[in-house]
Structure 1
Amino acid sequence: PKTVAMRILENPCNKVCGDCNAANPEWASVNLLVVICQACAGHHRALGTNVSKVRSMKLDNNVWTEPLMQVSG
C-alpha cells in the first residue's frame, strides 16, 4: 500500500512548492498543511516551530498518518 506521504506528493496540487513554486518539493509544514521545497523549508524553520512545523516528506514517516489526511482532506 502507498504511504500517506506518497499520496500527498501524488496530488497534482503538491507538485510544486506552496511558497515559491519550485518543482518536486520534499518538505512540508504539518501545521500549515503546505508542501515546500528545501530552500523554503529553511525559511520556515527560521520562523520557529510556533509558526511552522517543518518535516521531511521522505524521512519523517511517523508524521504522515491517516488522521493528518483527515485534517487536510
Structure 2
Amino acid sequence: MKKILLAAPAVLLVAACGGSPAEEAEDVQEEVIEAQGDVLDEQAEALDAQADALEDAGMEAEAEATEDQAEAMEDAADEM
C-alpha cells in the first residue's frame, strides 16, 4: 500500500510536466524550428535594409538581387 501512495505523486508530477519525454523532446524541437524561423526573418530584414542602401547608392541591379534574397529567406521562414 505504501508503494502505491509513494508512486502516485510521481505519476502526478510527470502528468503535470507535460507528459512523456518524447512529447517534451517534440516540444523542444518545435521551439528550435520556430527560433530558426525568427532568425531567418531577422536576416531577411537586414537584407531589405541593405537593398535599400544599395538602391540609394544607385546600384539598382544589386539592390534587386538582394531583395530577391530577402524574399527567399522570408519564404523559407514562413515554411518553418
Under a length normalisation based on structure 1, what TM-score does the superposition of the two structures give?
0.27
Higher relative contact order (CA 8 A, sep 6+): 2
Higher strand share: 1
Q: Who wins on radius of gyration, i.e. which is larger?
A: 2
